[in-house]
Amino acid sequence: MNGSEYDAELEVLGSCMASPDAAAEAAVLLTVEDFARESHRAMFAAICRLVAEGMDTGPVALSAELGSKPVRLLDIADRARPHAIVTTCGIVRREAATRRADAALRNALTSLRDGEAASDVLHALATLPEVRSVVATVADMCEVLTGEWTQKRETVSLSEWGKRARFGELFLIGARPGVGKSALASQFAVEWAARHLRVRLYSYEMRPSDWLERLAAHTTGVGLERIEDGLDADYLAAVRKGLTGEWARFLEVVDCSRMTFDALLADMRAFSRHGGRVVIVDYLQLAVEQTYEDVTAASRRLKLAALAADLLVVAVSQLSRRPARDDGSTRAPSLSDLRQSGALEQDADTVMLLHTYEADDTKVREAWRRDGYALTYDTPPTPEAPWAIYKRLGHVEFAKVRRGVRERIPAWFDGSEMRWTPVDRMGGAL
């Protein structure tokens, strides 16, 4: 951080403390991300909150908002030049743009070294956005937008679950370990690829070969345990046929073991420019350092990337392992269980939470039946039906739906075939 940049940031902060009008002006001209220092970002974020609430932004009020001693704030207030707030905000903005450009160039070099085409990298640099607020009257927006409302929106259907998602949205699948979140993600991937949507699956947790086994189990019904034991010629032929169907040309798997999060975002942009429509990230907490700040930043950047590239971004998220009842059993997850960051819930347009019940689920089955669901697979495994051991009763909860109804749907999770199947009210699984 150079001296002029540092001085400009302090002058803006000091001017905001000296003059409510200067604070209001700065809140429009700048964003928190325009400040280079984390401490300056925290101060400006607090100033923006005070401005939004119509409160005083002086050193005493700001100190109370930050929960810190006012000594340093008084020193910063001495640098105030409220009459020059527009000029100093302009300096902070230019320095911020320089930092973003510098970061973009470094990311571009990384992408080139990782093998991305030079034309894609240059296009990404040429379209680097400068994010600013846009002010428009409702009348102006009405003139521009209402014509679009006569057209049917392009959406992605979740056919078995009665829900739809839009391109440009962030879709979150959350579950505790071993509950089948990757299985549902691969299930969606195959469904959308079968509709000729180009899907790219970024895998931080598993090797591509592991994903191929799960896709084989899901698309052919040849269970993972049989693949583990080795396939005979007939089963191998069935698997090869299932994995070379037309859908398989539209689904790509990327090994992300050595991919940084910045490289992931760059690759997503390139994928979109070449006709990509859906991105799946498995799983989010492995893509970045598992701290509150890093996961929060990653969540926000994924959301902005979805909007900028007009992609549907499906992020798989790990939930806490901890039991939630005194007897040690595990309760159904809720939005508060999203690990490390409340921003995941805030940024996502749709949140699906997965849960499977304990081995003794008699009371749960009785409750679902009273609600009109006809549960099948009640008989224990037999030599004729060994698959029954792998089916567990659970539910898929749409805990957040930006455009739709929140609901909890009973479902079977088949750990052998990597499949979630909703239960129908009219007689068995759909």
Which pLDDT does position 387 carry in this prediction?
45
Q: Quick one: pLDDT band at residue 427, thresholds 50, 70, 90?
A: very low
Average pLDDT, the chain: 82
Q: Please, which pLDDT band fits residue 21 given cuts at 50, 70 and 90?
A: confident
Predicted confidence band of residue 129 (pLDDT cuts 50, 70, 90)? low
Q: What global pTM score does this model have?
A: 0.67
Query: Domain 3-95 falls in which CATH fold?
Result: DNAb Helicase; Chain A (1.10.860)
Q: 375 pLDDT exceeds 60? A: yes
3-state secondary structure of 426: coil
* Omega before 377 within 30 of 0, i.e. cis: no
Fold of the domain spanning 156-429: Rossmann fold (3.40.50)
Pairing of strands 199-203, 251-255: parallel
pLDDT score for 101? 82
**Cα separations in angstroms, 65 against 33, 35, 270, 348:** 19, 19, 42, 28
Q: Compute the half-sphere exposure of residue 399: CA atoms within 13 Å on the CB side of its CA.
A: 23
> CA dist 123 to 266, 377, 430, Å?
11, 54, 45
Over residues 224-241, the mean pLDDT reads 86
Tell me the mean pLDDT in the region 200-223: 88
Highest mean pLDDT among 48-62, 184-198, 309-323, 336-350: 184-198
Does the pLDDT value for residue 419 go beyond 70?
yes
User: How many degrees, rounded to 5, is the angle at CA 65 between CA 59 and CA 67?
Assistant: 95
End-to-end CA distance of the chain: 59
The answer, yes or no, to whether residue 112 has pLDDT greater than 80, is no
Bigger pLDDT: 385 vs 251: 251
Which range of 104-113, 218-227, 271-280, 375-384 scores highest in mean pLDDT? It is 271-280
Sequence-distant (6+) residues with CB within 8 A of 148 are none
378, pLDDT greater than 70: no
Q: By percentage, how much of the chain surpasses pLDDT 70?
A: 82
Contact 44, 88 (CB under 8 A): no
Q: How far does Cα 417 stand from its chain's mean position?
A: 26
Give the pLDDT confidence score for residue 407 in this predicted structure: 92
Q: Please, where are the H alpha helices in 180-316?
A: 181-194, 208-220, 224-229, 233-243, 261-273, 284-287, 292-309
Ramachandran class of 326: left when φ > 0, alpha when ψ lies in -120 to 50, beta otherwise: alpha
Task: Quote the pLDDT of residue 35.
Answer: 92
The sign of the dihedral angle between the CA atoms of 15, 21, 24, 30 is: negative
Q: What is the DSSP letter of 291?
A: S
pLDDT of 323 reads: 52
What is the spatial distance between Cα 220 and Cα 328, in angstroms, rounded to a whole number?
37
pLDDT in tens, 173-207: 999 888 889 899 999 999 999 999 999 999 988 88
Read off the pLDDT band of 1 (50, 70, 90).
low
In this model, does residue 406 exceed pLDDT 70? Answer: yes
Answer with the residue of higher pLDDT: 169 or 7.
169
Does residue 363 surpass a pLDDT of 90?
Answer: no
Q: Which residues make Cβ contacts (< 8 Å) with residue 12, sequence separation at least 6?
A: 26, 30, 44, 85, 88, 89, 92
CB-based contact 171:157 (threshold 8 Å): no
The whole-number average pLDDT for the span 206-233 is: 86
Amino acid sitting at position 414? D
Contact between residue 124 and residue 108 where contact means Cβ atoms under 8 Å apart: yes
Domain range list for the chain: 3-95, 156-429
Q: Write the pLDDT tens digit of every residue in 39-56.
A: 899 999 999 888 878 888
Indicate the Cα dihedral angle 251, 274, 166, 135, nearest 10°. Answer: 160
- Of the spans 194-203, 292-301, 303-312, 407-416, which averages the highest pLDDT? 194-203
Q: In the numeric block, which tokens belong to residue 222?
A: 């040849």
CA distance 391 to 90: 61
